[in-house]
Structure formats: structure tokens, C-alpha cells
Amino acid sequence: MSDDHLLPPDPDEVSEMDDLRVDPHRESDFEKFPDELTHEQREVAGLSQGQIVRKRFFRHKGAMISLVVLAFIIIVAITSVGAGPIPGWYQWQHTDLIPPVQDEGPTISVVPSFLGGEGLAWGEHPFGVDNQNGKDLFALTMRGVQVTLVVILVLALLSVTLGVMIGALAGFFGGWTDSVLMRITDVILILPLLVIVSVAAFSFGASGLWSVALALGLFSWTGLARLVRAEFLALREREFVDAARVAGASPTRIIFKHILPNTVGTIVVSTTLLMGAGILTEAALSFIGFGIQAPNVSLGALVNDYDTAFGTRPWLFVFPGAMIVIIVLCLQFIGDGMRDAFDPRQKRIPKFKDLEKKQEETKADMATRPNRMHLGG
Amino acid sequence: MFLFIVRRLIASALLLLVASFAVYIMMAYAGDPLGFLNEITNPTQRAAIERDVTEALSLDTSPVVRYFHWLGDALTGDFGISARTRQSVNDELASRIPVTLKLVAASSILSIVIGVIVGIVTALRQYTGFDYIVTFFTFVFFSLPVFWIAVILKDVGGIRFNDWLRDGASISTPVIVTLAIFAGIVGYSIAGGRTPRRLAIASISAVVAAGLLVYLSVSEWFLKPGIGLPVLIPMAAGIAVGVTAIFAGIANRKALYSALSTAALGCVLYTPLQTLFDESGMGWWWTLLLLVVTLVASYLIGIAWGGYDKGLSARVSMLVGFLVALVIFVDRHLQSWQEYSSNPVIRNRPIKTIGDKEARLEGSFWVLNNDTFSHLILPTMALMLISLAAYTRYSRASMLEVLNQDYIRTARAKGLTERTVVVRHGLRNALIPLATVIAFDIGGLLGGAVITETVFEWNGMGRLFIEGLQNLDPNPVMAATMVVGATAVVANIFADIMYSVLDPRIRIHDQ
């Protein structure tokens, strides 16, 4: 009984919970059953949903590390070769022809000197040089990162807009709206994404950044739409929606003000994972010749261009590919961290340390009765 | 149920119809399928080809009319001809579907088996080092671009591995030490219980791994692979004990004895089987027959031991029989490995990076199978990485979900052993959602190998589609899309039906 109210299952109940916290009846409940407060309940008691989510997310080590790494990559990618008219700090651009160098290999080094390496060194050409085409690979890769990021941002923007709109309308109104929208979703869903996107990118005029981004965005929203629809189907039956309706709220207001904020978790998580998958799809498209092609640069196009170089000049192939892996991996971990943070059923196994602390606290509580037991906060 | 299937089939057919229309129109506006004509220098020939293709594809009409022409033919089972090659697309399909099936079947079976096992173990050992390691690697596998890893595999697993074989196939000491330490870490993190016990298990696994690697290196096992009777006997005993321990419990003596007798029978029959294997008529039909005989014999052994739970003994015995037979079957292949490898066509470079078979190779059933295997191994690895990660995540999530259910608590409270709780109450229920996921995935398999087929140059469905797209050739693209779409739709319906059959809580209503 008391358990259900202490773990706020939904944001819309948060205010309710805050009221309950100061309710004298509740206090006596705690007093009667102090042991019914589990470890995790104490941790969240008195916090708003947003605070709980943030706290859980910041505790997810993988997600935090990934966030830092991803931020670092984005900052380096933008500042090094510059964006648009703004120049960067790196000496070459992806369009620059550079004179052939003696040693084409990468000059970046992270092996410390006491292990026989050169210490942390940047060098003249950190990722190496492509002598055949006179290109500096670092400049190419950073430009590729920029383009790839633009592609997945467009993809995310389009998919979220389309997916949320379609899912929300289908889920909220039901009936024939639902049938029509979901049948459209099904049509796109039964065809493999790669198939439909390559045909679409092709008919938009292949090889440019925008046509690929557009094609990816226009056909990647199906999963999101289904998830949002399912959320809406469940949420529209809830009491707070009835309350809003009785109070005279219009459907638009109910959708955007009352239901949509409750689906943010699902949307954010699946968009993050979608962006990761989008990078891989973009790369795959480039590989089979329907994505961004040379002279345009994207990470997928770079890997595709240099796929025959692996035997002789592996760095040309490895650095752009590794960059894809790192970015997607970061997005995966961030998505995982957010899923854990948003999931109200999420259980964290407490560490032994924490359990011991809890036992001591309980003991202390027993000793200091009838003082109010503190709520963790 | 019948009404449900009919309704779903009609709905799916309509979906496919709309999807085919969309793709056809997009293809039509993507470009001119006759673009390749410029490559033909002879003007009369060019004009003739142009006339033929235009007529066959009705290119002189509008795309919508053309679509209905195509649809009419497609509904009678004729996918038309390819503009580029002027071959019948139906013939192309017939030759390419088996190739794709061969590729995806191998990787799916392996990734399902390994993925489910790893997923279940990580669920049972949630929040341990093993769980974190596996989770990290599944994320890494999810993040790999298939073609990137495929190119690396081609170089490392193909060219460098073949060089390594040529240079004597010896494993260097640092590699042995590293792998042994890794085995130790895995052993430590899988093992349960207190630290001393886990350390003991860790050191045992490290020592066993090191010993095994030294043996493989010294005996040049990779050049002359084999299992042989001396290894088969302990292996069969291990399989018998292991399978019994998992599915029946060692305390169930009848099951243990039936498993052991099946294993013993396998070992006894090992030598006589070799003469049968060397018969020239040996092929897949014989293999199938032997498998059926094995399963029937193991079933009878289980029943013969009797007891109150005959069925369980019989099932355990059948699984043991299957696994021991598999080992014997693999052993026979390994015996032919040298014959295969030293064949003048293969020239001691057995791991292949291109194609699905060596056309010039001639030899026995075993040699040809080795050839298939050596072509399959690299693309299978590339395909496996991703689906393995997916199945590991699915089965871990599914198992965790089940283990948190009330009936598991009830089972524990009844005092059942941990094995019974996990295997009989947990595993069975965890596999239900997994079965539907698998059914669904199998539907997507035909279209799922586009990249892998391209990198490893397998002439399968994926390449049919890609080449059609590159040549702006509508018919192959439409045929590939329709076959893939139809299998996906059927698999989808099948998954729904399977769910309701496996899980009585879910009912399919006709209304």
C-alpha cells in the first residue's frame, strides 16, 4: 500500500506525492512500518520525477563516460577544421591537396614513453596521410564526423516529428485515423529499411548530404510511431486525461500538454538509439553506393573509399571506421543510461556498502525513536 | 484461429500490393533502365536490344500502366526479365535463394544457440563482472558497421590466418598467456559463490585453457585437425553428465544412466561408422537417415531405463545422442581436412574470402563440405556478431523478466532446487517471447545479408537487389523486394500464431 505511493510511477503523480509526504497520516504509516521503506524508495523519496531521472542518469557510469567522449569528439570535429566560414585550428582542410610525405602513417601516439612509445604526441598528421590523393586523413575524418552528425540530426528531427505526430494521432483518436496511419506504417515496416532508403535516396538524386539525410529521416520513424502510439493508447485511458477533458481542454491541448510530456522518456531513449542506428545505415548506404559519395565526405563514404587500402595502408580504413564505432557506442550507452533513468520499474541492486549503511541507519532509527525517521533526501 | 489467419493474410496481401506500387514508382522515377545501352558500340545491336527491352518491360507506357502490367505477370508467378542481362528473373531467384539461405541459416542457428546461452547466463549472473563484460561487448557488436568488420575479417581471418597456417600454425607464448588470463577472468566472473571458490575455478580454467592452447600449438592441430576416439570418449562422457546436470539433475539416476549409455553407444559405434562414412554414396540423405536412427535409438535407451519419469530420460538421452553424433560427424570432416587443404585447387590456403564454393574442387562428400565450411566461416562470423548481440540482449531481458515473476518465487518457496526453478520454470517461459522474435527475424533474413553478400561476393538475394538498383533495373529489384516482403509478412503472422500456441495466456480471437 504505502509502497505504491512512494515510488512515483509517473510525473503526473508527482505533485500528488508531494502532498502525501506532508500528510500526517502518511507520516504515521512510516512510523508504523519503517522497514517497508526499501533502500531504493528512500533514495527517491521527496524528489521530483525530473530529479530522479537526472540522478539515475548521472549515476550510470557508462552513459556519463560516453557523454564526455561524445562531447569531446563533437567539439574537436567542429573546432579543428572549422564549420562553414569559421576557420578551425587545424592546418589542413578536407579539400586541401597536401604534398606527399615520406612516412604516410599516423603520427598520433598515446603509448607512454616508459612503455617504448613516444608519449602523448599529436604529430604532423595525427591520423596519417593518403599520399595517392594528397589528403590529410584527420581533416577528412573530422569533416566526415561533421557531415555524419548533420545527417543524424536531420534524421532525428524528421523521425521525431513524424513519429510523434503519427503515433500521437493514431493512439489518441483511434478508429479509422489509427487504422490508416498504422497501415501506412506497416507498409514502410515490411520493406527492409536499406531497401526503401536506397530507392528513395536514389530517386532524390543520390550522393548528396541532404538527399541521404532526407531519405533516412522520412523512413526511420516507424518504430518510434508504434512506441508513441502504444504509450498514447495506455495514457488516454488515465484519470488525468478524463479530468482535463471534463475541464474542457481541446484534443490538441490534451495531446501536447497532458499526454506528450509523459512519453518523453520513450521518445528520448528510442531517438538516441535511432541516431546510432542511423549512422550505421548511412555508412551501409555509402558502402553499397547509394549514400554520400566522394567528393562529399562522410564517415561511411571514407570507409567505403578506403576499403581496399586495409592490407597496405590500414590507418586509412581503421580511423574513420573506429570513429563510427566510437560514436555509435557512445549513443548506445547514453540510450541505455536514459532507459534505466526513465524506467520507473528500474531496480538497482544496492552495493554491500550501501546495505550496511542502511542497516546502521535502521539501527540508529530504532534507537532514536519516537523521532521521525528521515526520508533520505 | 482460421478466421484470424485469413484476415491477416488478406491484410498482408494488400500491404504488399501498396508497398510494391510505391517501390515500382520510385524505381521508375529513379532513372532510365536503358542507360547501359551507351556501352554498346554496335548501333544495330543497340537498337535491337533497346527494342527488345522496351517491349519486354513496356517502357513506352507510363509507370502506372507499367506497374499494372508487371503486377499481372507477377501474380501469375512471372517476375519478367532483367533489362541488363535479359535473363529471366525467376531463374535468377531460383539460383540465388539457396545461396542466401545457406549463408543466413548457418549464422542464424549459431547466433541463436550461442546468444541464448550467453543471455541466460548473464541473466543468472546479473550485475557481475561477466554480465558487464558481455553487455559491453554486445554494445560494441551493435556499433560495428558490418562492412567495416567484414573487410577486417577478410584480411585478418582470411589472408593472415592462411599465412599463419603456412608458417607452421604455432601459437606464440604471449598469445597463450593472454588467452589463459582471459579464460581465468571469464571463469572467475561466471562462477558463483565465495571468493576462494571463484579463484579456484578461475585458475582451473586458466590452466586448462593454457594446456589446451599449448597442445594445439605443439601438435600443429590447425594443420592436422582431428578429434579421434581418445578425445571423443571423455568428451561424450562430459556431454552426458553436463546435459543431465542441466536438464534432469545428477540426482536423477535413470536420466544419468540413459545419457551415459547413449554416450557409450556413440563411442562404441565410432569405429564401425567410419567404414560407412567412407562409402561413396555418403551424402545429406544418409546423414539425415543416420540422425533419425540416432534419435530413435537414444529415445529407446531413455525409455528402456524406465523409472517414473521416462519421458525426461528419453529427452535427455536424445539430446546427448544428437550432440555425440554431431561430434562424430565433425570429426569425420576434420579427418578430411588435410585432403581438402592440400588439394591443388586450394593450395593450402583453406580459409576463403570470396564466393560460396570452389567450383573446380572435386572430392568426396566430406571434402566438399569442408569447402563449404571454409567459405562460410568468415561471412558467418560477420553476420553473427550483430545478431548474436541482439539475441544475447533479448534472452537476458526475457530471462530477467521471468525470474522476477511471482511463480518463480512460489517455485523457490516450494523448496525446488535452483536447477529446477531456473530450467523448468524460468527457461521455458523465457523462451516464449524469444521464439516469436526468432520467427520474426527469420522473415527478415533473406533481405538481411545485403552487405555481407556484397563484401564476400556471394551471389545471393542481396546482390540481386543491389545490382538491380545500381543498374536501375526494375524487375530484379521488385522480385527481391517482393520475396523479402512476403517472407517477412508470413513470418510475422507465424510469430503471432506461435505466441498464442506457446503462451496460453495470449489468445487469438476471431473477432
A-chain residues within 8 Å CB-CB of B147?
A: 283-284, 287, 303-304, 307
Model confidence pLDDT, tens digit, residues B350-407: 888 888 888 888 888 888 889 989 999 999 998 888 788 889 989 998 999 899 889 9
Q: What is the pLDDT of residues A261-294, one digit of tens each?
A: 889 888 988 999 899 989 998 888 888 777 777 6
Highest mean pLDDT among A80-84, A246-250, B167-171: A246-250
Q: Work out the minimum CA distance from A181 to partner chain B, whole angstroms.
A: 13
Cell of A245: 477533458
Q: Give B 254-313 residues with CB within 8 A of chain A.
A: none
Whether A324 and chain B come into contact, CB under 8 Å, resolves to yes
What's residue A365's pLDDT? 61
| Angle subtended at Cα A301 by Cα A298 and Cα A306, rounded to the nearest 5 degrees | 125
Q: Are A236 and A171 in contact (CB under 8 A)?
A: yes
**Dist CA A64 CA A66 (whole Å):** 5
A343 to chain B, any CB pair closer than 8 A? The answer is no
Cα-based distances in Å from B221 to B198, B209, B213, B343: 31, 15, 10, 18
Q: Which three cell numbers stand for residue A157?
A: 528531427
Classified as helix, coil or strand, A109 is: strand
pLDDT band at residue A3 under the 50/70/90 scheme: very low
Dihedral of CA atoms A9, A12, A15, A16 in degrees, nearest 10, equals -70
Helices and strands: H and E segment counts in chain A: 17, 2
All cell numbers assigned to A272: 538516441
pTM: 0.83
Tell me, what DSSP letter sits at residue A86?
B
In this predicted structure, what is the pLDDT of residue B211?
Answer: 92
Give the residue among B365, B364, B370, B298 at the shortest CA–CA distance from B337. Answer: B370
What pLDDT shows up at residue B218?
A: 87
CA distances, A328 to each of A213, A273, B142, B326 (Å): 17, 9, 8, 39
Q: Do B451 and A283 touch (CB under 8 A)?
A: no
Q: In the numeric block, which cell numbers belong to residue B457?
A: 561476393
Asked if A332 has any chain B CB less than 8 Å from its own CB, the reply is yes
Rounded distance between C-alpha atoms, residue A327 and residue A320, angstroms: 11
Inter-chain residue contact A192 with B143, CB threshold 8 Å: no
Q: Where are the domains of chain A?
A: 61-95+136-342
Chain B residues near residue A198 by CB distance under 8 angstroms: 469
Place of cell 531517438: A271
Q: Which of A186, A317, A324 sits opposite B15 (nearest CB)?
A: A186
Phi, psi of A24 (to 5 degrees): -60, -35
Which one has a higher pLDDT value, B480 or A38?
Answer: B480
B451 contacts in chain A (CB < 8 Å): 284, 287-288
* Alpha carbons A264 and A261: distance in angstroms, whole number: 5
Nearest CB to B145; choose among A199, A284, A310: A284
Q: Is B363 left (phi over 0), alpha (psi -120 to 50) or beta?
A: left
d(CA B141, CA A164): 29
The pLDDT assigned to A326 comes to: 94
Q: Which of B126, B139, B444 lies at the smallest CB-CB distance from A333?
A: B139
A196 or B355: which carries more pLDDT confidence? B355
Give the mean pLDDT of chain A. Answer: 77
Contact A198 B27 (CB under 8 A): no
Give the distance between the most distant pair of CA atoms in chain B. 87
Report the DSSP beta bridge partners of residue A184: none
Cα–Cα nearest to A224, from A157, A295, A288: A157
Task: Assign domain A61-95+136-342 one CATH number from 3.40.50.300, 3.30.70.870, 1.10.3720.10, 3.40.50.720.
Answer: 1.10.3720.10
pLDDT in tens, B89-119: 899 889 888 888 888 888 889 999 999 999 9
- A316 contacts A306 by C-beta, under 8 angstroms: yes
With a cut of 50, list the residues of chain B below it in pLDDT: 511
CB proximity B144 to A under 8 Å:
yes
| Pairwise CB contact (< 8 Å): B151 & A290 | no
- The shortest C-alpha distance from B160 to chain A (Å) reads 10
B118 CB within 8 Å of a chain A CB: no
The beta-carbon contacts of A342-347 under 8 Å, at least 24 apart in sequence, are A342/A53, A342/A264, A342/A265, A342/A266, A342/A268, A342/A269, A343/A265, A344/A7, A344/A8, A344/A9, A344/A10, A346/A56, A347/A40
Mean pLDDT of all residues in A256-264 = 90
Chains A, B: CB pairs < 8 Å: 114
State yes or no: pLDDT of A8 exceeds 50.
no
Q: Are A280 and A263 in contact (CB under 8 A)?
A: no
Cα within 13 Å of Cα(A335), Cβ side: 20
Mutate to test the interface with A, among B14, B151, B155, B477 (most CBs of A within 10 A): B151
Q: Round to whole Å and give the CA distance between B218 and B168.
A: 10
CA-nearest residue to A203 within chain B is B30
Render pLDDT for A325-343 as a digit per residue (tens, 0 to 9). 999 999 999 998 888 888 7
Q: Is A283's CB within 8 Å of B147's CB?
A: yes
Q: How many CB atoms lie within 10 A of CB B133?
A: 15
Taking contacts as CB-CB distances below 8 angstroms, the residues of chain B near A276 are: 142-143
The residue of chain B nearest to residue A61, with distances taken between CA atoms, is: B132
- Residue B261: the pLDDT is 95
pLDDT digits (tens, 9 = 90+) for A215-231: 888 888 988 999 999 99
Among all residues of chain A, which has the CA nearest to that of B160? A311
Interface test with A, best of B10, B134, B139, B481 (most A CBs within 10 A): B139
Give the pLDDT of residue A15.
Answer: 40
| pLDDT value for A371 | 42
Distances (CA, A) of B410 to A38, B102, B312, B414: 22, 45, 23, 6
Residue A361 contacts residue A350 (beta carbons within 8 Å): no
Nearest to B450 by CA among B383, B385, B357, B353: B383
The answer to whether A228 faces chain B, any CB pair under 8 Å, is: no
Nearest Cα neighbor of A18 from A50, A53, A57 is A50
- Indicate which of B148, B404, B461, B464 best probes the interface with A, i.e. most A CBs within 10 Å of its own CB: B148
CA distance B232 to chain A (A): 40
Q: Between the CA of residue B60 and those of B53, B66, B87, what are the distances in Å?
A: 10, 9, 20
Neighbours of B276 (CB within 10 A): 12
The answer to whether residue A157 scores a pLDDT higher than 90 is yes
pLDDT at res. A140:
87
Residue A19, pLDDT above cutoff 70:
no
The conformation of residue A129, written as its DSSP 8-state character, comes to E
> What φ, ψ does residue A292 adopt, rounded to 5°?
-70, 130
Q: Report pLDDT for A373.
A: 40
pLDDT of residue B477: 87
Q: How far apart are CA B90 and CA B95, in angstroms?
A: 9
Q: How distant is the Cα of A171 from the closest Cα of chain B, in angstroms?
A: 20
What nine digits make up the cell of B196? 576462494
